Every structure is written in C-alpha cells, then in structure tokens.
Structure 1
Amino acid sequence: MGNLELVIIILGIILDRVTKIYALNNLAGKKDLIIIKDFFQFSYLENRGAAFGIFQNRVIFLTLFTCILISAMIFYLYKNRKSSKLLAISLSMVISGAIGNLFDRVYYKYVVDFILLHYKDVYYYPTFNVADILVVVGTVLLGIYIIKDVK
C-alpha cells in the first residue's frame, strides 16, 4: 500500500471514531437531535447485526468474516496498488469503513449507528454511521472502476 491508501484509511477511521464517540457521549439515552425536520436527524442506535440489521447477535461470525474481507482487500490492494488510483481509493474507503465497524463490534459487541434519514413518518432509511458511508461510497467507486475497466 502507498501513502494515499494509508491516509484514506487512517482519516476514515479517525472520522468514524470521532463521530461515534460524539454519538455515545451526546445521543445515547437522549432524545433524537433533529437537524432537518422530517428528513435528517441524529438518532442513537446499537446495531447488533450487519447491514440492515441482518445476522443479529452473530458477533463472532461477523468479526471473522470482516477480518477475512479486510485481509483480502489489503492483499489485493498491495498486489494491484499501481494499476489504478480509483481502485486504490475505492478499496481504501471500504477497508476504512470495515475497520471502523469492526472496532465497534469487537469493543462494544455492537456497532454505533446514529445517522437517520427519513421522509416525515412515511419512510425511514435504516440508521447508519460514517463507516457505512465509507463502505457504500467505496463500493460505488469500485463498481465504476470495474465498469470502466471492462470497456
């Protein structure tokens, strides 16, 4: 891995930790913090599963699975680090987010989620965190890299 990848991974982990510490200290056990009425708020949630709450209370399985995926991505990134900057950025973001949620899962036995998007009381998107954003954006960028590379 190069410097760019390490910077992205470290900054992503720091941003995730800082925001989760904020959530733990200022949102846990308190009323939701409304940012934009009927659309965006901070709402503390302890997610004991994976994305969208699947695999509830499977801490050991999720921890091992995440460690394997992180190791595979780091190995792939190391072997292909010079092939594409987009590949490096996308995998670094996914690794950073995976490490952020892995830390929570190991340390707390749950993942701290606190970002809630919704439309009034009609639709609620599942509560998420900065690590989740990193994983999703990194995955989208990886998809763009794959599509671009196929042509």
Structure 2
Amino acid sequence: MPNVAPNAAGRFGRLGWLWLSVLVLVIDQASKFYFESSLTLYQQIVIIPDYFSWTLAYNTGAAFSFLADSSGWQRWLFALIAVVVSAVLVVWLKRLGRNETWLAVALALVLGGALGNLYDRIALGHVIDFILVHWQNRWYFPAFNFADSAISVGAVMLALDMLKSKKTGEAVHD
C-alpha cells in the first residue's frame, strides 16, 4: 500500500493525525448543516438520474437504521459506544509507531466519522443523512453522510492492513 504522507508522524507526533479526524468532523458537520438548511425532510434532488440523489433523512438508530423504532434509549447506548470507541482509537493512535502511516490514517478517518455522528446523536437525538444511492426506483441503499463514508473508508483500510499483516507477517505501513 502507498505511503499516505511521508514523515507526517515525525512532524506532528503520533497524535498529529487527530487533525485528519478534526477535518472529517468539520466537513461532516458543515455538509449536514448545508443539507439540513437547504432541503426539507425526505426531499430528493436528483444528481445522477436513477443512481444518485441528495436527500434529507434523520436516523435515530445505528447503521441501516438499526433500532430506529425504539423508544429513545438507543440514542444514549449508541452515544456511549461511540465515546468508548473514540477513546480506544485515540489511545491506539497514540501508541502507533512512526512508520504506521496507513494505520494512522485509517484510525483517524474512523475517529472523525464517529465523532461527527456522535455530535448529531447527542445534540440532536438523531444523525443527519443526505447521500442517497439507488437504482431507478427499485432499490435504495440507506441514506448516509460524510461521517459514514469516512468510517467506511477507514474500516476498509483497517481490514486491508490486517489482511496484509496476516499474509506477509508485516502490517501495511510505509
């Protein structure tokens, strides 16, 4: 795998990657603010006919609206999980070696996305989603947001790192 940013850990320290998390958080919150102020609930703006639209949806559950129909207790459960996971990710980032750039980027992406959705969950009681991928009017992937995308990209990077580590005995780093 490519070296994402040479010497970043050396210049900023291992926790320097938290700036990537902050960037993800800022982009996530700015995009949610924009779409919430520009669209009404469930309104769709077609970007690519039959495939991609902007929309506004609120998710009180977890991924794919898991437990969204519950009475509200799930808000605090998912917030607690996000806080614990975020703390674990910060500790993990802090313990990374200087040559673990790929893993640092992966963790920072997941952390930034988790914090973006955590803010929504605590402040609003739901997560704002606005990206809608679909096929004609027959199949719709659940709406998602920038934070979800960062979490997904980071998770794929983590999986690739683990697969590469298992295959070669070395992690995917510099």
Which of 27, 50, 55 is the equivalent residue of 1:38?
A: 50
Q: Which amino acid aligns with 1:66?
A: A
Task: Give a deviation string over 1:86-127, Cα, whole Å, max 9, x none.
Answer: 100000000000000000000100000010000001211110
Task: Give a deviation string over 1:52-107, Cα, whole Å, max 9, x none.
Answer: 01132311101111100110111111112435111000000000000000000001
Partner secondary structure for residue 143 of structure 2: coil
Partner of 1:73: 89
Q: Which amino acid aligns with 1:20?
A: K
Runs of 4+ in 1 over 3 A off after TM superposition: none
| Matched residues, number | 150
Cα gap change, 1:131 to 1:118, in 2 (>3 Å):
same
Percent of pairs with identical residues = 30
Partner secondary structure for residue 41 of structure 1: strand
Task: With the length of structure 1 as denominator, give the TM-score of the two structures.
Answer: 0.94
Partner of 1:93: 109
Where in structure 2 are the equivalents of 1:1-150 lying within 5 Å?
1-3=14-16, 5-29=17-41, 31-56=43-68, 57=72, 58-150=74-166
Root-mean-square deviation (CA), in Å?
1.3
Unaligned 5+ segments in structure 2 are: 1-13, 169-174
79-88 or 10-19, which deviates more: 79-88
80-89 or 124-133, which deviates more: 80-89
Partner secondary structure for residue 2 of structure 1: helix
Task: With the length of structure 2 as denominator, give the TM-score of the two structures.
Answer: 0.82
Tell me if the contact between 1:2 and 1:81 (Cα under 8 Å) persists in the aligned partners.
no
Q: Which amino acid aligns with 2:119?
A: F
In structure 2, distance between residues paired with 1:48 and 1:81: 37
- Larger Rg, first or second structure (1 or 2): 2
Q: Which amino acid aligns with 2:53?
A: Q
Q: Which amino acid aligns with 1:2?
A: L
Tell me if the contact between 1:94 and 1:138 (Cα under 8 Å) persists in the aligned partners.
yes
**Displacement after TM superposition at 1:27 (Å):** 1.2
